[in-house]
A and B are shown apart, each in its own frame.
Chain A
C-alpha cells in the first residue's frame, strides 16, 4: 500500500476537523508535498458543496390529501380487522384451521343430506321384513309378478311393493305394520282379489 492510500482514509476527517495533533500535522505535511492528494481533497470539498446544493425535490400538491385518504383507509381496514379478530395472537392460525375444518364438515353433511333426499335408498323388501321380524321369509310370487311377503302368519311388518300399495289404495309406499295375523290374512285376501280384478280388467 503506497503512502497516498494510507492518507486517503483520513481525508473526510481532515475536511471535517476531526483530525488533531500529530495526525493533522502529518496530513498537512503530506498534502503540501503530494499534488494528487491535494487535488483529491479539493475535489471532495467541491463535491460536498454540490451535494449540499442539490436542488430539493418537492412533494406534489395533492400529497397531503392523498396521505389523509390513505390514513383513513388504513384506519377503516384496521377497524374491520379488529372487529373480526375473534382469536387473538397465537391462536389465530389454529383457530382458522378449525373453522375451515368445521365448514368443510358442515358442507359435507349438507351435501350428503341433499343427495339422500334426491336418491332415497329403497330397502330390499325381503331384507327389511327379515330384519324387522328376525325370522325367515317365505316368498310367494303372484301371477303378475308382484311380491307378497308373509312371515309364517305371524304379526310382523309387511313390506309391500309400490304397485301393491297402489292397489290397496295407499298413498305412501313402503312398509305397513300389520297388527295381527287375522288382519294380515284379510289384507292378503283383499290384495289377491284386487290383483285378480286387475288382471281380468287389464288382460282378459
Chain B
C-alpha cells in the first residue's frame, strides 16, 4: 500500500490513475476528499440528508465499478460531479413520479399544500440557522436546471468551464443560467439580503 506523502498532495488524476492500477488506498483518499463535497451538493439539490448520503455512496460505487472508464482527458472532479449530478437528477425524477401517484391517491381535502412564503414575517429576527434554512428552502424551489448550476457555481465554487462539462451544455448557456438563477434567488430573498 502506497502512503500519501505529506506536503506533496497528489492530484485527483494521480489518485484515480493509481486506483486504476490496483491501489485501493488511492480510492480511500478519493472518498475522503470528495465525500463531504458531494454530500453538500446532493443534499442541497435533493434536500434530504439520508437520500443524499445514499446517493454519494452510489456515486463512489460507480467510480469503483467503472474506474477503467475514466480517461485523463477530463478532470476527475468533472467526472465524479457528473455521476453525482445524474444520480441526483434521476432521484428527483423518481420522486416526482412517486409524488404524482401519492397525490393522485389522496382525497381532495387531504392534498398537502406548500406553505406560502407570504406567511413569513420579514420583521422577525432571524439567526444564522434560520437564515440558512430560508436560503436552502429557496434554492430547493428553483427549477432543477437553475438549482444545479447555482449549487455548482456558488456553493461548490466550480469554474464555469467545469460546470459546462458536468452539465453538458455550452459555456454561454451556463453563464446565462447562473445569472438568471441568481436573479431569481435574489428576488425571493430580497427581504433577507437587504437587511
| B69 CB → nearest A CB, Å | 15
- A43, A55, A59, A78: which contacts B132 (Cβ < 8 A)? A55
Per-position contact with A for B94-118: 1 when CB-CB < 8 Å, else 0?
A: 0000000000000000000000000
Chain B interface size, under 10 / 10 to 19 / 20 to 34 / 35 or more: 35 or more
| B44 CB → nearest A CB, Å | 7
User: How many chain-A residues does the 8 Å CB contact rule pick out?
Assistant: 32
B131 at interface (Cβ–Cβ under 8 A)?
A: yes
Q: How far is the CA of A43 from the CA of B132 in the complex (A)?
A: 16
**Contacts of B179 on A, CB cut-off 8 Å?**
8-9, 11-13
- B35, B60, B154, B194: which contacts A51 (Cβ < 8 A)? B154
B155→A52 contact, CB < 8 A: yes
A11→B35 contact, CB < 8 A: no
- Give the A-binding residues of B (Cβ under 8 A): 28, 31, 35-36, 39-40, 43-44, 49, 52-53, 56-57, 60-61, 64-65, 131-132, 135-136, 150, 154-155, 157, 175-176, 178-179, 182-183, 185-186, 189-190, 193-194
Q: List 27 A-B contacts (CB under 8 A).
A: A8-B179, A11-B183, A12-B178, A12-B179, A13-B175, A13-B179, A39-B194, A40-B183, A43-B186, A43-B189, A43-B190, A43-B194, A46-B193, A47-B185, A48-B154, A50-B131, A50-B193, A51-B150, A51-B155, A54-B44, A56-B36, A57-B39, A63-B57, A64-B31, A66-B57, A67-B61, A71-B64
